[in-house]
Amino acid sequence: MTSADNTSTAQRRPAKDPWDLPDVSELVVGVLGGTGDQGRGLVYRLARSGQKMIIGSRAAERARAAAEELGEGVEGADNAECARRSDVVIVAVPWEGHAKTLEGLRDDLAGKLVVDCVNPLGFDKKGAYAIVPEEGSAAQQAAALLPESRVTAAFHHLSAVLLQDPEVQRIETDVMVLGESRDDCETVQALAGRIPGMRGVYAGRLRNAHQVESLVANLISANRRYKAHAGLRITDV
Ligand SMILES: NC(=O)c1ccc[n+]([C@@H]2O[C@H](COP(=O)([O-])OP(=O)(O)OC[C@H]3O[C@@H](n4cnc5c(N)ncnc54)[C@H](OP(=O)(O)O)[C@@H]3O)[C@@H](O)[C@H]2O)c1
């Protein structure tokens, strides 16, 4: 056997352009906790880009009312129905409710691409600080609780204020996307890229999610000092 025969299929595959991302325009995207600031902002922006969106809530009525406010392309449902009817499910509940919410939706989320955007943070008189979850990060906790789902992490550094402001046409920022599967990460990157000004950038495996989640404490500090809605750019990619 020659060394050429030994080359794995992966090695022989021609290098793919990392910016050649899939068409995600037909995917239904649900948001658990979609009645909150971050969820509502993501739903608004993605629906504005033509994505079919479902707002999830612990109370279907609240979700339907929020969906009505956001208009065309947006529906509301309780979190379980939202999970079942969506191809991609963004988790946008507070850290305090993260584990309990996901545990309760394990079956509804089986087989789904889950995108966790939860930042485990505490606040005291010195400002925001990062909490270190037992599993390492919120995203790793999600992966542990949802063994039959494909868990990724993204959308941590967005300003819900900018997302929700209809006067803001473009949001100039990068979205760090983490996960175990390249295809899943590319789907999430493509989704981020549907929002004008935004780029989804691959940023590693879930074991590196903690520093991405906790960086939000630094952005909050910058926002307070500069009265801003800070975002991030990854340069040279
Ligand atoms: N706000 C931002 O700028 C921002 C940016 C990036 C990431 N994030 C992350 O996104 C998540 C949501 O942030 P947010 O500011 O939108 O929070 P939020 O408004 O406090 O909560 C979002 C929604 O979650 C549901 N919820 C509240 N408590 C819950 C609990 N104990 N269990 C299950 N669901 C609960 C509520 O919806 P229902 O009552 O309708 O169920 C609420 O509308 C957080 O984990 C945050 O770290 C926020």
Q: In the chain, where does DSSP find H-type helix? A: 3-6, 9-12, 37-48, 60-70, 79-85, 98-104, 138-145, 160-164, 182-193, 209-226
Assess whether pLDDT exceeds 90 at residue 7. no
What's the whole-number mean pLDDT along residues 151-167? 98
Pocket flag, ligand 1, residue 40 (CB < 6 Å): no
Going by pLDDT thresholds of 50, 70 and 90, the confidence category of residue 1 is very low
In angstroms, the CA 111 to CA 149 distance is 5
Q: Identify the band that residue 6 occupies on the pLDDT scale cut at 50, 70 and 90.
A: low
- Answer yes or no: is pLDDT of 3 > 60: no
Q: Tell whether the model's pLDDT for residue 93 goes beyond 90.
A: yes
Tell me, using a 6 A CB cutoff, whether residue 34 lines ligand 1: no
In this prediction, residue 9 carries a pLDDT of 54
Q: Please compute the mean of the pLDDT values over residues 178-206 and round it to a whole number.
A: 98
DSSP-derived letter for residue 23 is P
Atom of ligand 1 nearest to the CA of 157: 6
* Rounded Cα gap, residues 106 and 145, in angstroms: 7
Nearest ligand 1 atom to the CA of 32 is: 24
Q: How many whole angstroms separate alpha carbon 16 and alpha carbon 14? A: 6
- Rounded to two decimals, what is the model's pTM? 0.95
